[in-house]
């Protein structure tokens, strides 16, 4: 299977003030991401509040992103849910609609407690779209499933024909690299933490990644990889440290899903508020966050339209 090179973005889902999904900003959103060096999107995941969307809304978003995708812009659809039958249906729809690939995080309820349970879950989803690469989205901080990934790869190897790899959003760079080295880099290990792109590059992996702060800081994150590839370690280090400064700001405002989504408004693309149970930012918090971002020179370096 083709392996992803470069950064894929996990976009936010736009909402109208009444809480309904707003498809209108997506063409401009996709064009902005591509302009800033992003290679595609991984929609309806955690940044996109996928578990708070209805099945119909997820399908409409899939169709709109595929319709709006610039040339050579990959659309990967997160189809995970607590109902494996629904996930299979969403996978089939993604394939029919023309998506590049699909992915699923482990169900947060019930939680898989053994490798075999997780493999079976992925197997039943992936077969819904047999022509598309399937990625397991490893994000135990949200799913609560802290199973080891190297034994998972060994168990899934040869069992799911369209299994492509893992979106690895966890703190263990050691485990990430061990998975990358499995059978001479057999599977596509997509780095999932924007704060540690550079150390993963230094270990010889991270040819591709999926990020959340790429929504508004993609130019700098892409720049880390470009500088590394050019042998300019000092520039790569400076850009990684700056990207950590951006993350240090958003963690004060309930993280990327809430604070990050409000940053999109500040750079010119208002995507609306978050759905319950997320606590939306107040106007006062927005003003305070803007000051913190100005203090680190963010608006001179962020994604541009």
| Identified catalytic residue from 137, 168, 176, 253 | 137
Told to judge if 291 belongs to the known catalytic residues of this protein, a careful annotator would answer no
Q: What stretch of H or E contains 112?
A: none
Residue 50 tokens read as 């996928």
* Separation between Cα atoms, residue 179 and residue 169, nearest integer Å: 13
Residues 6+ apart with CB under 8 A from 130: 95, 161, 162
| Identified catalytic residue from 64, 167, 239, 261 | 167
Residues 6+ apart with CB under 8 A from 223: 235, 236, 239
Told to judge if 265 belongs to the known catalytic residues of this protein, a careful annotator would answer no
Phi-psi group of 114: left, alpha or beta (phi > 0 → left; psi -120 to 50 → alpha; rest → beta): beta
Contact yes or no for 9/286 (Cβ under 8 A): no
Q: What stretch of H or E contains 30?
A: helix 26-35
Residues identified as active-site = 137, 167
């Amino acid at each position: 299977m083709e392996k992803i090179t470069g950064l894929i973005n996990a976009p936010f889902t736009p909402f109208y003030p009444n809480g309904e999904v707003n498809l209108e900003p997506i063409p401009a959103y996709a064009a902005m991401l591509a302009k800033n060096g992003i290679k595609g999107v991984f929609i309806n995941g955690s940044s996109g509040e996928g578990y708070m969307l209805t099945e119909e809304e997820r399908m409409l978003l899939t169709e709109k992103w595929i319709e709006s995708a610039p040339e050579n812009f990959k659309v990967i659809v997160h189809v995970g849910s607590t109902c494996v039958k629904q996930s299979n249906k969403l996978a089939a729809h993604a394939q029919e609609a023309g998506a590049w690939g699909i992915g699923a995080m482990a169900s947060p309820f019930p939680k898989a407690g053994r490798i075999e349970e997780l493999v079976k879950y992925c197997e039943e989803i992936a077969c819904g779209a047999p022509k598309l690469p399937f990625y397991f989205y490893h994000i135990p901080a949200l799913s609560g499933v802290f199973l080891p990934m190297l034994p998972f790869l060994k168990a899934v190897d040869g069992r799911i024909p369209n299994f492509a790899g893992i979106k690895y959003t966890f703190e263990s760079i050691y485990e990430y690299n061990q998975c990358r080295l499995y059978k001479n880099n057999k599977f596509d290990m997509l780095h999932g933490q924007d704060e540690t792109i550079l150390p993963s590059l230094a270990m010889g992996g991270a040819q591709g990644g999926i990020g959340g702060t790429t929504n508004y800081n993609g130019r700098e994150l892409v720049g880390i990889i470009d500088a590394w590839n050019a042998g300019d370690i000092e520039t790569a280090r400076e850009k990684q440290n700056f990207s950590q400064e951006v993350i240090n700001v958003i963690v004060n405002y309930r993280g990327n899903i809430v604070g990050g989504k409000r940053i999109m408004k500040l750079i010119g693309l208002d995507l609306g508020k978050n759905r319950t149970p997320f606590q939306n930012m107040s106007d006062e918090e927005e003003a305070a966050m803007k000051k913190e971002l100005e203090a680190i020179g963010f608006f001179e370096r962020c994604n541009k339209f």
